[in-house]
Amino acid sequence: MSKQPWIFDSLQDINDYRSSESKHQLQILFGTESPVAWVTGSAADRVGRAVARRFAMRGYRIVIHANRSLSEGKQLVEAWNAVGVETMMVHGPIEDETRVKEWIEQIYEGFGRLDVLVHAAAVWEPQPLESTTAKLVQEQFTSNTLGTFLCAQHAGLAMSKQATGGSIVLVGDWAVARPYRDFAAYFASKGSIPTLTRAFAVELGERSPNVRVNSVLPGPVKLVEGVSEATQEAILKQCLLRREGTADHVARAALFLAEHEFLTGVCLPVDGGRSIYAGSIADAIAHGSYIET
């Protein structure tokens, strides 16, 4: 009688099972143990790179994308190839449709397939409403809305022609549901992500039932330089889980969504609970029996 897969005699048994189970899952999902994941915005050391690293650790071949961080991207490709992670790079602005189409061709020329797109590239610029110009709004929409649309459109249509389909994960923002001041242009552009997630899930799912589209809506993770200690402390206090989010939290959620064969059209907040709660003072109960403690 063969041993059941959940019965182990040693730690080596567990490690061997984990390894074989991972390969088996990828084989079932994508028809290969080495699928290809394209992560936009992954050259710079922010969320996109953490996503690419997590997928590389899982056994994926990686397509790095750079726009302004071209030198960083080249270094990353060289370093990852040196340790055995098959990696290539595409570069340029995501809102350039000609370039996006060329990238798809380059990916198929280099790897022969495209199994996952994680679209993490984005721009943001805080600006008081009084000084927010039409030009700034257009710039935010061009990158965050149009760029997302084009990458998902052309990657998804390519995936729909593959027998094994593929998976798209878009990266949005939790705060489109609870916006704060000075980011009106950014939130307007990022507010499209949940709609695009559902629209592409339908469009591509109707073309191939093996293409899935989901999104991650992160809370504040990997805060930019210059954020004061007081602001960081306030962010932690407003988080229901009382801890700081990391880029890898987003990466793990993206990997989960990419590999879950029965999820599509899902927008998953990864925000420590901030989208539902911001503290007892901010969300005070409007009820006569409420007593502050």
> Which are the catalytic amino acids?
186
Give the span between the Cα atoms of 224 and 91, in whole angstroms: 23
With residue 52 as reference, give the H or E element that holds it: helix 47-58
Closest CA to 93 of 68, 116, 72, 110: 68
Residue pair 68/147 in contact (Cβ under 8 Å)? The answer is no
Contact 156, 203 (CB under 8 A): yes
- What is the C-alpha to C-alpha distance for residues 53 and 112, in angstroms, rounded to an integer? 21
Residue 57 neighbours by CB under 8 Å, 6+ apart: none
Element (H, E) at 244: none
d(CA 216, CA 29): 20
Contact assessment for residue 184 and residue 136, using Cβ atoms and an 8 Å cutoff: no
Task: Please report the beta strands in 115-210, taking only residues with DSSP state E, as ranges in sequence order.
Answer: 116-119, 166-171
